[in-house]
Structure 1
Amino acid sequence: MKITDIKVIVCSPGRNFVTVKIMTDQGLYGVGDATLNGREKAVVAYLEEHVIPCLIGRDASRIEEIWNYLYRGAYWRRGPVTMCAIAGIDTALWDIKAKAANMPLYQLLGGASREHVLAYTHAQGTDIAECVDAVGARLGEGFKAVRCQTGIPGLRDVYGTGKYSVTTNAAQDAMPREESWSTPKYLSYVPGLFDRVRAEFGEDVHLLHDTHHRLTPIEAARLGKDLEPYRLFWLEDSVAAEHQEGFRLIRQHTTTPLAVGEVFNTIWDARLLIEEQLIDYIRMTVVHAGGVSAMRRVMDFAAVYNVRTGCHGAMDMSPICLGANLHLDLWAPNFGIQEYSGYLPEIEEVFPHAWSLSEGMLHPGDAIGHGVDIDEKLAKKYPYQRAYLPVNRLEDGTPWHW
């Protein structure tokens, strides 16, 4: 089964997405997500100028060989642009492979380990009271796990809260939006959020929180200890992801479960964290990790060390990525939880999908392949629009981790 053509489709039905579509001489095609939020065109150029010319005429069934050809053959390995490009190709090839086998992807991986996939969603507010109300609304929708984020008094546009919780568009903002940050204000305010949420909703709901890489290890250790009475499902991205050794200090001081990995690109980024059991959940995701092939390796490696999975699932990855994640989630014996932030109606129309959500549980569906497609005609109605993720600063103006 030869690859005859590969297209890169860029559209913006509320968010920018980069989709790879691979066609074969047997009439089968597959699609993969290659979106890198805020740097989408860099991946497009990498694919069109450097990857696609090397793949026409190759055997689409040789997924492992193609993955290593693209990874090892580039010499300049890793990095978000390279790995998103590889992910788009790899995911599309797995889609074709499963279609050729006439089965859903999770069956090709080895079959389901569970009946459905536990999901968590987001609840946010500009202050504690507003966030508590949002948690109640999410629980009313059937979710059993909720990530809670609150604004901080005196700070503007804190991550994960307010109307600017998604990527800004160049038509609205000529430059990336800037947010403000104060670690002392944050550390003194956030424990009060979880005190209120537990008092309001009890112990049965799973609560999660994202620090978004903003603390030092000792600050993260202090926060983890302060949050212990509220028994979080996890504390996410507590320190800058590059600082793997910093988790040793955090681990020494708190029993709050730790999660990290959404900005990781390869298994090497997570090796130390997993081997030393410094985290409880690895949050890598198909599009950023290098595809289904790479994500399966990460999951298997993590299982050896009792680390569970928690794939990143924000709206800046297309429904194709979520679909691929869900097939892996259903299969992985060490699955933990799947992030689900939801999608705008326009996005779901452009990307018809077999996956479903019911009572806080997701399932990839039983369509052959990974069960997600792209409506190319509809996608053309939503042309690419340059957009940026925000930039963060301390109150004195120092650039800080967003």
Structure 2
Amino acid sequence: MTAADRIDRIECFQVRPRWLFVRIETAQGAVGWGEATLEGHAEAVVGAFETVRDRLIGHDPDRIEDAWQTLHRLGFYRGGPVMLSAIAGVDQALWDIKARKLGVPLYQLLGGRVRDRIPVYAWIGGDRPADIVEAAQARRAQGFKAVKMNGVEDLAWLDSPSKIDALAQRIADVRGVGVDVGVDFHGRVHKPMARTVLRAIEPFSPLFAEEIVLSDNPALVAQLAAFSSVPLALGERLYSRWDFRPFLESGAIDIVQPDLAHAGGISECRRIAAMAETYDVAVAPHCPIGPLALAACLHLAAVTPNFVIQEMSLGIHYNGPSEDLTTLVRNPGLFDVSNGSVAIPEGPGLGVEIDEAAVREMAKTPHRWRNPAWRGPDGELREW
């Protein structure tokens, strides 16, 4: 009998524009890649990998769930974005190793696919209404049938109705292009304005209202769900099934949006998706980050009955420098969009072939990405 393989090396790479890649190598030479990107906090996640190495060097790479539980439970202080992002990168890389060793795409190890392609959407933005329409037209030309746009850039506790009227008009303009539209509010709307905003956009049938308020207050989200027929979505700032539980139990949300690089990786997000299914809640994973995280999302989407649509971005919503994709991934055509969807990766593991030399070279000058500070007209800080 061949001796069991062991994890021998765990490395992190901060690569532009704002990603954190994880590479795990075993004593027998198997290699897997994952993504532990936590935008604006890469250094904190890199620090968490000191603990990860202490726990997992020498661990059997096939015991993926045991590795997950070890990192989560033995840390004593459980949960939170930093540690669960680190766990996410490890989890993705271990699944990548196992599927590559078996020579199969990852989704085969998760029970096999329940769909043949993955519906996707992309972000649009612009300073003027005409810019938003032009961006929507460009996405449609790229093959997208759905987009996501910002709601309001700044909305005070009590603010001008004209801002809300302008938002409704922008949604109507984008719908006129012939695409469906989700609206992301980034938690910038406060309780006194939230009902007014939902009432204003309801006639235009948005796909969803994302983070209309912050997820800090589950009771408020439940109140809004009872008020409006607009599907409510959130989850990028929730990091485990325990974080999602109160929203599901109260019936507060219609779409969960776990991020596979933040919320414990493939293993935990699959549990979140299954839990959501028992409440008849859909899954639309959050992913405005890199190719490894996106590939992990596509494999999860392939096996998840209650999946609805995947956020898709390479670089920062397709608007980053060309090196974001072409210098780090050897098979960029993997994510080509056609008729509103992308193919499920069919290569072994995650199906992403990383240009390791390019990653190592770029990581010699680690990025220091920070989200910009948003301030209102009187200088007060607003949500990013």
TM-score, normalized by length of structure 1?
0.87
CA distance in 2, matches of 1:355, 1:73: 37
- Aligned CA distance change for structure 1 residues 24 and 247 (closer, same or farther; 3 Å): same
1:17-49 superposed Cα distances (whole Å, 9 cap, x missing partner)? 2222111233321111111111111111110x2
Confirm or deny: 8 A CA contact 1:3 1:22 kept in the other structure.
no
SS at match of 1:296: helix
Q: CA deviation at 1:182?
A: 4.1
1:387 and 2:372 aligned:
no
Question: Identity over aligned residues, as a percent?
Answer: 34
Which of 336, 352, 362 is the matching residue for 2:308? 336
- Partner SS state of residue 380, structure 1: helix
Structure 1: how far apart are the matches of 2:20 and 2:140? 33
What is aligned with 2:354? Answer: 374
Q: CA–CA distance in 1 between the matches of 2:15 and 2:23? A: 17
What is the rounded CA distance, in whole Å, between the counterparts of 1:6 and 1:207 in structure 2? Answer: 43
Compute the displacement of 1:143 (Å): 0.6
Structure 2 distance, partners of 1:306, 1:251, is: 15
CA distance in 2, matches of 1:305, 1:246: 19
| CA drift at 1:218 | 4.5
Q: Deviations over 1:308-362 (max 9, x none)?
A: 1111121xx2211100110001110000110013334312231334732232212
Query: Paired residue for 1:223, among 181, 197, 201?
Result: 197
| In structure 1, C-alpha distance between the alignment counterparts of 2:120 and 2:164, rounded to whole Å | 27
Given that 2:235 and 2:258 are in contact with CA atoms closer than 8 Å, whether structure 1 keeps it comes out as yes
Q: What is the aligned partner in structure 1 of residue 11 from structure 2? A: 8
- Distance (Å, rounded) in 2 between the aligned partners of 1:313 and 1:54: 28
Q: What corresponds to 1:76 in structure 2?
A: 77
Which portions of structure 1, spanning 4 or more consecutive aligned residues, are displaced by more than 6 angstroms? none
Q: Is the 8 A contact 1:6 1:20 kept in 2?
A: no
Q: Per-residue displacement from partner, 1:71-103 (whole Å, max 9, x unpaired)?
A: 000001111110011111111111111122221
In terms of mean alpha carbon deviation, does 1-10 or 327-336 score higher? 1-10
Question: Which of 167, 171, 189 is 1:190 aligned to?
Answer: 167
1:243 equivalent to 2:220? Answer no
TM-superposed deviation, 1:115: 1.0
- The one of 320, 332, 344 equivalent to 1:364 is 344
Amino acid at match of 2:236: E
* CA drift at 1:376: 2.4
Matched, 1:44 2:46: yes
In the alignment, structure 2 segments of 5+ residues that lack a partner are none
Q: Is the 8 A contact 1:32 1:320 kept in 2?
A: yes
1:346 aligns with 2:323: yes
- The match for 1:18 is 20
Supply the AA of the counterpart residue of 1:6.
Answer: R
RMSD: 1.8
Matched residues in 2 for 1:69 and 1:305: separation? 29
Match of 1:110 in 2: 111
Give 2:177's match in structure 1, choosing from 201, 208, 216: 201
Q: Which residue of 2 aligns with 1:173?
A: none
Work out the CA distance in 1 between the residues paired with 2:199 and 2:314: 31
Alignment of 1:298-337 (within 5 A): 298-314=272-288, 317-337=289-309
Aligned counterparts of 2:330 and 2:216: Cα–Cα separation in 1? 36
Unaligned 5+ runs, structure 1: 153-157, 159-179
Q: Secondary structure at the match of 1:19?
A: strand
The CA deviation at 1:196 is 2.5
Say whether 1:296 aligns with 2:296: no
The amino acid that maps onto 2:170 is: L
CA contact (8 A) 2:120 2:309 kept: yes
1:283 maps onto 2:257 in alignment: yes
Aligned-partner Cα distance in 1 for 2:237–2:290:
16
How many Å separate the matches in 2 of 1:41 and 1:147? 29
- 1:59 corresponds in structure 2 to 60
Q: Secondary structure at the match of 2:147?
A: strand
Q: How far apart are 1:396 and its partner, in Å?
A: 2.3
Question: Distance between the aligned counterparts of 1:356 and 1:332, measured in 2?
Answer: 19
Q: Which stretch shifts more, 391-400 or 91-100?
A: 391-400
3-state SS of the aligned residue for 1:330?
Answer: helix
Matches of 1:243 and 1:94, distance apart in 2: 34
The change in CA–CA distance for 1:381 and 1:241 in structure 2 (over 3 A counts) is same
After TM superposition, give the deviation of residue 189 of structure 1 in Å. 2.0
Count of residues in correspondence between the two structures: 368
- SS of equivalent to 2:336: strand
Counterpart of 2:198 in 1: which secondary structure?
helix
Counterpart Cα distance in 2 of 1:294 and 1:148: 28
**Alpha-carbon distance in 2 for matches of 1:258, 1:115:** 27
Helix, strand or coil at the partner of 1:129: helix
Tell me if structure 2 keeps the 8 A contact 1:109–1:331: yes
Shift in Å, 1:368 = 1.0
| TM-score after normalising by structure 2 | 0.91
